[in-house]
């Protein structure tokens, strides 16, 4: 029950069987996983979830593998926290934070990589490779370790220290690249055939979306099978946004949720805002954003392969795309820390700043039910937050609390 029936191209009309390792369609577009939802709805009931695992694999009938076969570290089923004090600060009466910092490796990337590594493992891959802005690398390193597979990770050389140390410590092969994730992606594409790597890059691999779509199932379930009015999502490659939009369509087809779907709000950094610009230009695709820079390393994606899918979902939903500065996202991150006790990634802070702006502008109403996705823990971004709390020490070792030389 619930296995994928086929993989459909997101651009042309080709479709492929799900029984082999696949990347993109022949036309170069991402593949989307399809299920026989009319059949699934006959056997799968909401009440089955009472006995389901407390992880994203609770939705295994609409995932490509059974929960028993998954490579899992108990990812997903993260808390949806009411943020009343933060809401008052930004003028929102019903504000909620979906705290993805609670995931294994402390980011929502765990969902996509649990699913992708599971399928790669089941379909016989031995060596996995990916370019990463940081957190996807950490998640791949962890799940590859759990599956006993090799991981080859290419990251910008100014990636947050937490991501670098995690990847190395999980035993991955890490290459730091003098460039951005786009340069890292080029290296993986050039070398993968020669090296025998299966490429699990964002959207070049069909199952990461399936893992991330569970954020959409969860938010609906946590609201008692209702949709919120608006979702703020920090958009890099856009996988989570595309995935949640897919989930909302599936939930409707299953007959589990009706009513208006949420407005999808793509949030980017002013230093890397290809989707915002494309949205404002009314364009179907984005253009490569030159000289991308932002402390929100997950948003440093100058051109997303699935840009047209993100833009389509944002427009169909009646949402919008906006950008905030690095200063605004760190300020807003600190509001969340101080008013809610949640330590968000700058990407989560960006969503708070964006929500404040859209309530002030009247795009959203103060009484709307608003969900902010905090996609990672702020503990993975100590360099960024440290700019607010400089601490002078003679050397880095002097910050180690006596681990090396007790004093
Ligand atoms: C913390 C964080 N937020 C958001 C993103 C963007 O994710 P997506 O590719 O789903 O747009 C990333 C990607 O690296 C990330 O690490
Ligand atoms: Zn195609």
Residue 206 phi, psi (nearest 5): -75, -15
Indicate the pLDDT class of residue 404, thresholds 50, 70 and 90: low
Using CB atoms within 10 Å of the CB of residue 27, give its burial: 0 to 12 exposed, 13 to 18 middle, 19+ buried. exposed
Contact (Cβ atoms closer than 8 angstroms) between residue 226 and residue 68: no
Angstrom distance (rounded) from CA 222 to CA 225: 7
Q: Which helix (H) or strand (E) holds 251?
A: helix 239-254
Q: Mean pLDDT score of the chain, rounded to an integer?
A: 95
> pTM of whole model > 0.85?
yes
CA-136 nearest atom, ligand 1:
14
DSSP 62: G
User: Are 242 and 304 contacting, i.e. CB atoms less than 8 angstroms apart?
Assistant: no
Ligand 2 center to 304 CA (angstroms)? 17
pLDDT tens profile 154-208: 999 999 999 999 999 999 999 999 998 999 999 999 999 999 999 999 999 999 9
Residue 77 has pLDDT above 50, yes or no: yes
Q: Which ligand is nearest to the CA of 31?
A: 2
Q: How far is the CA of 241 from the centre of ligand 2 (A)?
A: 21
pLDDT of residue 392: 82
- Percent of the chain clearing pLDDT 90 (strictly above): 94
Q: What is the pLDDT of residue 232?
A: 98
User: What is the Cα–Cα distance from 303 to 174, expressed in whole angstroms?
Assistant: 23
What are the two backbone dihedrals, phi and then psi, of residue 375, each rounded to the nearest 5 degrees? -80, -10
What pLDDT does residue 265 have? 98
Minimal-distance CA residue to ligand 1 atom 13: 298
As to burial, measured by CB atoms within 10 angstroms (0-12 exposed, 13-18 middle, 19+ buried), residue 297 is buried
Let me know: does 275 contact 311? Beta carbons within 8 Å: yes
Kindly calculate the radius of gyration of the chain based on its CA atoms and give it in whole angstroms: 20
Ligand 1, atom 15, residue with closest C-alpha: 298
Give distance in angstroms: CA of 7 to centre of ligand 2. Answer: 10
Ligand located closest to 8 CA? 2
The DSSP code for 67 is: G
Taking only the tens place, the pLDDT of each residue in 48-76 is 999 999 999 999 999 999 999 999 999 99
- pLDDT tens profile 356-378: 999 999 999 999 999 999 999 99
Q: Where are the beta strands (DSSP E) in 293-368?
A: 320-324
The number of CA neighbours under 13 Å toward the Cβ of 359 is 24
The residue whose C-alpha atom lies closest to atom 6 belonging to ligand 1 is 236
Give the mean model confidence (pLDDT) for residues 326-334: 98
Q: What percent of the chain has pLDDT over 70?
A: 98
Find the ligand nearest to 100 CA: 1
| Confidence at residue 398, expressed as pLDDT on a 0 to 100 scale | 77
Tokens 């996509």, residue located: 112
- Say how far apart CA 198 and CA 209 lie, in whole Å: 17
pLDDT, position 400: 73
| Residues 236 and 298: beta-carbon distance below 8 Å | yes
d(CA 69, CA 289): 40
pLDDT tier at 399, thresholds 50, 70, 90? confident
405: pLDDT confidence band, cut at 50, 70 and 90?
Answer: low
Model confidence over 222-279: pLDDT tens digits?
A: 999 999 999 999 999 999 999 999 999 999 999 999 999 999 999 999 999 999 999 9
Q: Please report the atom of ligand 1 found closest to the CA of residue 376.
A: 1
Residues with Cβ within 6 A of ligand 1?
107, 109, 133-136, 202, 234-240, 298, 345, 347, 375-376
Q: How many CA atoms within 13 Å lie on the side-chain side of 30? A: 26
């Amino acid at each position: 029950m619930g296995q994928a029936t086929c993989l459909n191209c997101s651009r042309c009309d080709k479709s492929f069987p799900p029984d082999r390792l696949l990347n993109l369609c022949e036309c170069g577009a991402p593949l989307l996983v399809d299920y026989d939802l009319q059949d699934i709805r006959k056997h799968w009931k909401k009440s089955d979830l009472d006995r389901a695992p407390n992880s994203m694999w609770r939705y295994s009938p609409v995932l490509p593998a059974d929960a028993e076969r998954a490579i899992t570290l108990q990812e997903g089923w993260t808390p949806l926290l009411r943020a009343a004090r933060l809401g008052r600060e930004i003028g929102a009466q019903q504000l909620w934070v979906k705290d993805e910092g609670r995931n294994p490796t402390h980011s929502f990337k765990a969902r996509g990589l649990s699913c992708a590594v599971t399928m790669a493992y089941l379909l016989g891959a031995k060596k996995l490779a990916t370019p990463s802005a940081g957190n996807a690398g950490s998640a791949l390193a962890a799940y590859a370790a759990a599956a006993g597979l090799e991981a080859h990770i290419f990251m910008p050389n100014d990636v947050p220290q937490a991501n670098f140390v995690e990847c190395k410590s999980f035993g991955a092969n890490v290459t730091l690249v003098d460039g951005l994730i786009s340069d890292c992606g080029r290296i993986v594409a050039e070398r993968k055939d020669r090296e025998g790597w299966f490429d699990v890059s964002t959207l070049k691999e069909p199952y990461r979306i399936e893992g991330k779509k569970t954020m959409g199932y969860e938010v609906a379930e946590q609201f008692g099978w209702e949709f919120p009015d608006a979702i703020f999502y920090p958009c890099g490659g856009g996988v989570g946004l595309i995935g949640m939009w897919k989930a909302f369509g599936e939930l409707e087809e299953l007959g589990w949720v009706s009513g208006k779907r949420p407005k999808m709000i793509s949030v980017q950094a002013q230093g890397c805002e290809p989707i915002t610009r494309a949205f404002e230009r009314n364009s179907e695709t984005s253009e490569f954003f030159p000289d991308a820079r932002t402390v929100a390393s997950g948003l440093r994606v100058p051109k997303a392969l699935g840009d047209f899918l993100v833009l389509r979902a944002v427009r169909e939903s009646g949402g919008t795309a906006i950008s905030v500065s690095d200063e605004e996202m760190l300020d807003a991150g600190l509001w969340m820390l101080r008013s809610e006790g949640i330590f968000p990634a700058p990407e989560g802070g960006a969503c708070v700043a964006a929500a404040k702006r859209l309530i002030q502008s009247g795009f959203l109403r103060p009484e709307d039910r608003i969900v902010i996705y905090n996609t990672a823990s702020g503990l993975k971004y100590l360099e960024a937050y440290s700019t607010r709390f400089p601490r002078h020490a003679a050397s880095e070792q002097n910050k180690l609390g006596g681990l090396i030389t007790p004093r």
